[in-house]
Copies of this chain bind each other. A is one copy, B any other.
Amino acid sequence: MLALSLALCATAAQADEGMWMPSQLPEIARQLRAAGFKGDPADLAELTRAPMNAVVKVGGATGAFVSGEGLVLTNHHVAFGVIQYNSKPERDLIGNGFVAADRAAELPANPDFRVLVTTGFDKVTERILADARGKRGRAYYEAVDAATKAVVAECEREAGYRCSVANMYYGTDFYLIRQLELRDIRLVYAPPDSIGNYGDEVDNFVWPRHSGDFTLLRAYVGKDGKPADYSPDNVPYSPPGHLQIATDPVREGDYAMLAGYPGVTFRHRMAAEFAQQIEWQLPSRVALYGSMIKTVERAAASDAEAKVRYAAQVAGFKNTLKRAQGELDGLRRSDAVRVRRDDEAAMLAWLDKQPDANTIRADIDAAQKVLDAAASTRERDQLLTAIRTQAQLLNAALTLQRLALEHAKPDGERETGYQQRDETLIAGRLKQVQRRYAPEVEKALLLDLLSQYKALPKASRVPEFDRVFAGEDAAGLKRSLDALYAGTRLGDEAVRLQAMTADAKALAASDDSLLRAAATLTPAILALEEQTKSRDGELLRLRPAYMRALIGFRKSQGRAVYPDANSTLRVSYGAVSTMDPRDGVRYRPLTTVQGIVEKHTGVKPFDAPQALRDAIAKGDYGSTIDPELKTQTVDFLTNLDTTGGNSGSPVLDANGRLIGLNFDSNWEAVSASWMFDPRYKRAIHVDMRYMRWLLAKVYPAPHLLGEMRLPAE
């Protein structure tokens, strides 16, 4: 009789929401210690001390120094551009991976690739807000903007540094961030993409996962130790600190913490904004994109070429719809409207008993009014945005008109995106129209969107749009669209590119119907933009009252408040943990190489390389074997708080040693940008033991293991 012994004993794990500024960690020292952290939380607060001084920004995401000689660990997908840049038909680094035999063999990254080492993080709230005080709306916004630019310019006077001002707690605090900008970055070690990106889109957002999504780079500097462009004479950068990769196993329930640069969250938005997001924004986005998908697919159904031209746009629509639906499902599952509303009501009740309640409450009420005003035109604004941006040829005409208007200003005063340096990009986009446009499909899409727009109350409509797109019913709109597209030559690439140099008046006087339409529409669009900027300015002025109330309220509950994510360095802590995605199913926190074999089909994205499969069949795992599972682990799951931008974040154990590399989260966590639900929020990491095994046994790089002070086998 065959017998099987099943045994699992899990320890309790604590999941704590929070993307903390390192400087806040001493404030939550008790919680950190209770969760299992063994170090001194005060050490984590200092960006220039270990381990935080090892955490760097790498190409829009995160990475970490892992040796004293500038070795940087980040995700394969973060370094993908570097790998691609060095791939050639005869040297397929994407498909085959890369191991630099020595320093000389390390390959220079694309010249715009950067590693940023944070060296300063200082509160500059007073300087940023000094001029803004007393101002309102657009003027407030511009005062903050001007002060920010001045502070940044002053900071960047020292060569080799990039500076920025981070807005914390929605305008409450401002911090000047100073980063050393390393410009000579080289590729050291990359697994084949069939390891680094095993599962690709099919496994994206999925657990269980089996990717070896890591790459090793090295930062170089000039002989003077200062940042420099690539030169063969450059030397490896000596970082102020680096992380030591752990050699202990990772187990369910283990303490884990993660440092990185999460992009954006909305957790401290007002209850009304939660309600709008869940009750209007996401459902209406799902409906709008669903309608656009149907319209484009129907219009292109009998035209194979049109189908190809719109394939990318439709794929984009579908992706937007899927994400919106996922976010909506998640927020509903978490009952986010009610939870946030109850919490805000409790906060306001608390506030009413505080001495400065009246002034704070006045600002909160004013912010609420700004939001209400924006909400009153939200259907219209969403439709006008779709009309302006989703119709390729109309968008080209609007771009040309705007470019002509901006051309009339000095380059520095032009709107972002229309400056001298942006013109190549604009020309590229105007050229691309050729491959992404079919007149019948564009007219069908506009007819769909305009029909929805014309169904809105007259009061919310925009006269210029009504004038250009005449007709109140489908037949009338169709006639006006037919006339508009019959009278334009913008479908011709040369005509579009030529118009890039025309001035606004010439375009308005053109005999091209679409260029004339754009000239009519643009002033209305600019007016709407002004309105938005003015509202944004008011919210920048008013939201700090809400945040102060929230911070005070939380303090009364004995809790700290982290600022919403804004691409600055944050730390979250929690544990290696299971997840129950649905009734009767539990995700186990560690995957193993057996899962690679299970998923392997030989066809992308499940085409594990022969060398890997041979090594798994051989089963020689040496020092990286998991003592309980008796095999090689691949990825692991934690309840750490992450969002986009946390790619490449180092995951540390209770002693600050590197156990994992963050690279994804689970689908159920899409809604975490608004609300952290501990039942469903998980983060997915490469187990450093998998990387060590690959370096030891599969695509050997003993010299790198030595450099990182790791066992050779």
Hey, which bits of chain A sit against chain B, CB under 8 A? Answer: 1-18, 31, 207-210, 559, 577-578, 580, 582-588, 590-592, 594-595, 598, 639, 676-679
CB distance from A686 to the nearest CB of B (A): 14
For the complex, give the distance between the alpha carbons of A115 and B704 in Å. 73
B582 touching A598, Cβ below 8 Å = yes
CB distance from A641 to the nearest CB of B (A): 10
B582 touching A584, Cβ below 8 Å = no
CB distance from A638 to the nearest CB of B (A): 12
Contacts A9-B10, A11-B7; A595 near B584 (Cβ below 8 A): yes
A5 touching B14, Cβ below 8 Å = yes
Partner of A10, one of B8, B15, B210: B8
B584 touching A588, Cβ below 8 Å = yes
B559 touching A1, Cβ below 8 Å = yes
Contacts of A8 in B (CB 8 A): 8-10, 578, 586
Contacts of A678 in B (CB 8 A): 2-4
B587 touching A585, Cβ below 8 Å = yes
B586 touching A586, Cβ below 8 Å = yes
Contacts A585-B208, A677-B2, A678-B2; A9 near B9 (Cβ below 8 A): yes
Partner of A5, one of B12, B207, B208, B209: B12
For the complex, give the distance between the alpha carbons of A645 and B208 in Å. 35
State the 5 A-B residue pairs at the shortest beta-carbon distance, nearest first.
Answer: A208-B584, A583-B595, A4-B678, A584-B591, A8-B10
Partner of A2, one of B17, B31, B591, B592: B17
B4 touching A582, Cβ below 8 Å = no
Contacts A4-B679, A12-B7; A582 near B595 (Cβ below 8 A): yes
Contacts of A210 in B (CB 8 A): 583
List the B residue with the shortest CB-CB distance to A595. Answer: B583
Count copies of this chain in the complex. Answer: 2
Contacts of A10 in B (CB 8 A): 6-9
B13 touching A5, Cβ below 8 Å = yes
For the complex, give the distance between the alpha carbons of A331 and B678 in Å. 40
For the complex, give the distance between the alpha carbons of A577 and B676 in Å. 32
Partner of A208, one of B12, B16, B583: B583
Contacts of A583 in B (CB 8 A): 208, 210, 591-592, 594-595, 598
For the complex, give the distance between the alpha carbons of A582 and B587 in Å. 10
Contacts of A590 in B (CB 8 A): 584
For the complex, give the distance between the alpha carbons of A1 and B209 in Å. 28
For the complex, give the distance between the alpha carbons of A209 and B578 in Å. 21
Contacts of A639 in B (CB 8 A): 4
Contacts of A17 in B (CB 8 A): 1-2
A6 touching B2, Cβ below 8 Å = no
Q: Apart from A2-B15, A207-B584, what are 20 other A-B pairs with CB-CB below 8 Å?
A: A2-B678, A3-B14, A4-B15, A4-B678, A5-B12, A6-B10, A6-B578, A7-B10, A8-B8, A8-B586, A208-B583, A580-B588, A582-B598, A583-B595, A584-B592, A584-B595, A585-B586, A585-B587, A585-B588, A586-B588
For the complex, give the distance between the alpha carbons of A506 and B224 in Å. 109
In the complex, 28 of the A-B residue pairs with CB atoms within 8 angstroms, ordered by the A residue number, are: A1-B17, A1-B18, A1-B31, A1-B559, A2-B15, A2-B677, A2-B678, A4-B15, A4-B639, A4-B678, A5-B13, A6-B10, A6-B12, A7-B10, A9-B9, A9-B10, A208-B582, A208-B583, A209-B584, A210-B583, A582-B595, A582-B598, A583-B592, A583-B598, A584-B587, A584-B588, A585-B587, A586-B586
List the B residue with the shortest CB-CB distance to A206. Answer: B584
CB distance from A67 to the nearest CB of B (A): 31
Contacts A8-B578, A584-B208, A584-B591; A1 near B13 (Cβ below 8 A): no
Partner of A6, one of B5, B13, B594, B677: B13
List the B residue with the shortest CB-CB distance to A9. Answer: B9
Contacts of A559 in B (CB 8 A): 1
For the complex, give the distance between the alpha carbons of A137 and B139 in Å. 103
Contacts of A594 in B (CB 8 A): 583
Contacts of A584 in B (CB 8 A): 207-209, 587-588, 590-592, 595
